[in-house]
Amino acid sequence: EEALRHFEGAVKLDPGLYEAWLGLGILQQSREVLEKTYALDPTRYEAAFALSDLLLKSPGASREKAVIYAAVAVHRAPAHRSVLNGFVRALRAAGHEEEAVAVMRSAAADGIWRHPRQRILDVMYPDLPVVGPLLQGSEYPGLARLHSAVLQALPAIREQFMELRQMLQSGLADPGDLKYFDAATHFDCDTNKEERAWCRETGREGSWTEYSFMRQWSQCSLQAFPTACQVISEAIGQSSMDVDTIIDC
């Protein structure tokens, strides 16, 4: 509600401010507002990307229209990983499986998904089987084995995995913040005073629910992914890939 008030105030102060309309449309999940935002500056990708995502979430909405908006977003930001992922999701939702795979292969060939951050986390669960072949023969040989281990164990905790993805996308969790994951694994933030102090120091005061979930998810992962954990250890010793990349994956 506070964020909405700020965006509404910004729109009143400057009716032509793209960012204000964009924020308003995303918070309200309003197609009308997002289409207005898109019309303000069709050369930008953000509104088209948000419209595609909204249509995919809306029951009965045109999946082909979502593909069109996603394609526009990709055209405006061809090297943006999240935009490419959105395009792939839209293609799959509309039944264009071959095109989706082609986009993923092209992005992998261009090196867009080889960035240390979000290589795996940026890919939705249904796309994981497609990712495997892309990792075979890559410069990270241990990554293909890690992918296979994760894929085998993932169905058991699919719900938790998708919830984690939502947290990552909404900014509640940062895949690059190893301290966050370490704290979530080893401390119970509802009772640990030291951990509460650390949360306050790092600006995460009030995030007990998120931390508790991360802690539970981490423990579940360690129980469900013994093979993956072994592969991670081997990858650290055998691969030139940096540790952050291995942990992110």
Give a yes or no: residue 203 inside a domain.
yes
- Cα(113)–Cα(91) distance, rounded to whole angstroms? 18
Within-domain flag for 60: no
Which pLDDT value is given to residue 97? 83
| Residue 71 covered by a domain | no
CA atoms 237, 239, 240, 242: torsion sign: negative
Whether residue 52 lies inside any domain: the answer is no
Question: Within a domain: residue 195?
Answer: yes
Residue 96 domain-assigned (yes or no): no
For the question of whether the overall pTM of this predicted structure is more than 0.75, the answer is no
Supply the range of the domain harboring residue 163. Answer: 115-249
Q: pLDDT in tens for each of the 249 residues of the chain?
A: 888 888 899 899 999 999 999 999 998 999 999 999 999 999 999 999 999 999 998 888 889 999 999 999 999 988 787 788 889 889 988 988 888 878 877 776 665 544 333 333 333 333 444 445 544 555 445 555 555 555 555 454 445 445 554 554 555 544 444 344 444 334 333 444 554 554 455 544 444 344 444 444 444 444 444 444 454 555 445 544 444 554 555
Q: Does 208 map to a domain?
A: yes
In the chain, the number of structural domains is 1
66 lies in some domain: no
